[in-house]
Amino acid sequence: MDVVNFRILEALQEDARMPFTRIGQELGMSSPAISDRVKKMEDLGVIRGYKAIVDPKALGYQFQAMITLRAFVGKLRPLLDKVPQLREVRNCYRITGTENIIMEVVLEDQGHLERFIDLLIAYGETRTHVVLSQVIAQNPLGRPLAKKD
């Protein structure tokens, strides 16, 4: 993980479909060299995949929300098993603090939001924060300053 790899990561986080030839041009390298490095980063788990970023609003999801949940005793495990089946959940984290879980969800309308919360209250006490706007979205990960290869 030298500086070249971080330049490659930077490019691919900005546009995952950018051709290796062009990345190579900007770095003064050939495309096989880039390809080798990318494959190695994929194998090492540094690169976990490539995803299209889709706008929920454009698909008809009127609301986005952050929901924290404090699980009832014995209900955390069942919830963790349930969450992967919920299409509304885009991201879900186990966290420290009085709440156990925080998830980012997309909802089609008010009724959908209500039904979703109803579903959750079987597992714990929830707190819902409707998203007003996204200030930063998928900011690329840079090189850790403390990192000494």
Partner DNA sequence: CCTGAAATAGCCAGGTC
Partner DNA sequence: GACCTGGCTATTTCAGG
Binding site for a copy of itself (CB under 8 A): 1, 9, 12-17, 44-56, 58-61, 64, 66, 80, 83-84, 87, 89-97, 99, 101-103, 106, 108-109, 112, 127-147
Q: Which does 71 bind (CB under 5 to 8 A by kind): DNA, a copy of itself, none?
A: none
Angstrom distance (rounded) from CA 24 to CA 2: 15
- Residue 28 binding DNA, by CB under 7 A: yes
Could you give the maximum distance between any two Cα atoms of the chain, in Å? Answer: 58
DSSP bridge pairs for 99:
none
Residue 133: partners with Cβ closer than 8 Å, 6 or more residues away: none
Task: Give the pairing of strands 63-71 and 101-107.
Answer: antiparallel
Q: Which of 3, 15, 21, 129 binds DNA (CB under 7 A)?
A: 21
Q: Which stretch binds DNA (CB under 7 A): 34-42, 45-53, 94-102, 123-131?
A: 34-42
Angstrom distance (rounded) from CA 20 to CA 31: 5
Question: Least distance from C-beta 24 to a copy of itself, angstroms?
Answer: 16
Q: Name the residues that contact DNA, by CB under 7 A.
A: 4, 19-22, 24, 28-33, 35-37, 40
